Amino acid sequence: MNWKSEVDKFKAGMKIENPSMSSSFLRIGYFGLTGGGKSVTSGIFALGLTGPTGLIGWIDGEGRRSGYAIDEVAELAAKYYGKPKQSFIDRFKVVHVDPPFNPLAGVAAIETLEQAGCKTIIADLCSQLWDSEGGYLDMKEDALDRIAGSDDAKRQRSAAAAAAQVKPWTHGKFISKVNSAKAHMILVFQAKNKWNPKTNKVDEFVSPIQESGLTRTALIVGRVECSDRGNGGYCTFQAPPGQGTKFTHNAILKLLPQANEQLTFAHGEAIAKWCGSPVPVSAISTNVAPDIKALKRVLWETTREVHCCVKGEKEKAILDLGVRKLNQWMWDESVISDTEAWETLTAERLPDVIGKAKEKLESKEVVP
C-alpha cells in the first residue's frame, strides 16, 4: 500500500468549513432507578425536540410497557399544545425487543424505525443490551466458557480475548449505529449503586448501567430522580465527575430544568432551537405555557358548540353573548370555579381548563 496515495484519497473528500452547531441527529441520554420516570421524561423531551410534526420511534425493551408511558406523555402534550391526545399517540411507532437482548437486535430496531421515517428514536433498552439476558455480558461469558471452561485463573487471563471475540461484532455495532443513525437518539439507561473498589463499599450515588462509550457523542446526559409529583423528570445534569451526567456547552444548562423544576416539552424545544440557530440563550423561552392568545383560541374553538359563534364572526354583541354562554357553561360543568371567568384565565391555567372542557364535551351531548 502506498500510504501517501491513501492520504490523498481522504484529502479529496475533505473540505474546510466555518464552526457551527447543528440540531441534526442529536444524542441525548437519561438514566435513573426503576420507577423514577425515565421513560415519560424521554417521551416529553422527544416531542419537544422533534417539533410539531414528525414520527417518534420507541424501542421497548421494558416488557412491553411503553404504551403506559406514551399514553401519559400524550395526555400531557394534549394539555400543553391544545391538540387531541390521539394525535400525539399516533406519532409514536413502537418496536418491541424481548429477551435475549442481543445488541444486534438494537441495531435492527433502529434501522426499522429509521426506514419508517422516524425523526427521533427513543432506545429504551440500552442497559438490557449490556447486562440482561442474552446481552453483551452474557455473550462474553459464553466466549469465556469456550476459551477457558471452569479454570478460574485462565478465565481471568482470557477476559480480554473473550471481549475481543464478541464486542466488535455485537455491542460495538450497536454503538456505531447509535452514532450514525439518521435520527435524534434518546438513550435510556437503568441505574444502580456500583461497588467502589477504592472505598471497598457501594457508592452512595447511582450511575447508568452501560458501556462508557455509548454516551461519548451525547449532547447531554441527565439523571432522572424519582418524585412524588409525578409526570416525568426532575433531572440533574451537573453531578460530580464520574457519576454519569454530562452537558456539552455551558449555555445548555440555562435551557434545561433548574433545581426542583420539572422537565417539559419547552426544554426540548429550546435545545433544538439553540442547536439549530444557535441564538443567544437569553432569546429562548423555556416557559411551560404557550402564548395566552393561542390557548384562548384553542379553548374557543374546542367549545364552539357551547357558545355557537361562527368562525370569523366579529360583531361585538355576538362575541359578548358567546363569552357569557361559555362562562355559564364552564361554571355549570365545574370546568372553572365560580371566581374565574374567560376574561381572567391565565396561560398557566388554560391548559387544564381546555382538558376539562374536552372531557365534558366528549362525555355528553351539549345543549346550547
Q: What is the pLDDT of residue 48?
A: 94
Mean pLDDT, residues 247-258 taken together? 88
Q: What is the pLDDT of residue 182?
A: 94
Question: Which residues are bridge partners to 116 per DSSP?
Answer: none
Cell of residue 366, nine digits: 351539549
Q: Is residue 189 over pLDDT 70?
A: yes
| Maximum CA extent, the chain | 91
**Per-residue model confidence as pLDDT tens digits over 281-339:** 666 666 654 567 778 888 888 888 888 775 455 567 778 888 999 999 999 999 998 88
> For residue 94, how many other CB atoms are within 10 A of its CB?
17
Fold (topology level) of 21-135+170-283:
Rossmann fold (3.40.50)
The answer to whether the CB of 347 falls within 8 A of the CB of 295 is yes
The confidence band for 229, taking pLDDT boundaries of 50, 70 and 90, is low
pTM: 0.76
The confidence band for 276, taking pLDDT boundaries of 50, 70 and 90, is confident
pLDDT, the chain, mean: 87
The confidence band for 360, taking pLDDT boundaries of 50, 70 and 90, is confident
The confidence band for 366, taking pLDDT boundaries of 50, 70 and 90, is very low
* CATH 3.40.50, the chain: domain bounds: 21-135+170-283
**Per-residue model confidence as pLDDT tens digits over 95-104:** 999 999 999 9
Mean pLDDT, residues 185-191 taken together? 95
DSSP states of 269-321: HHHHHHHHS---GGG----SS--HHHHHHHHHHHTHHHH-PPTT---HHHHHH
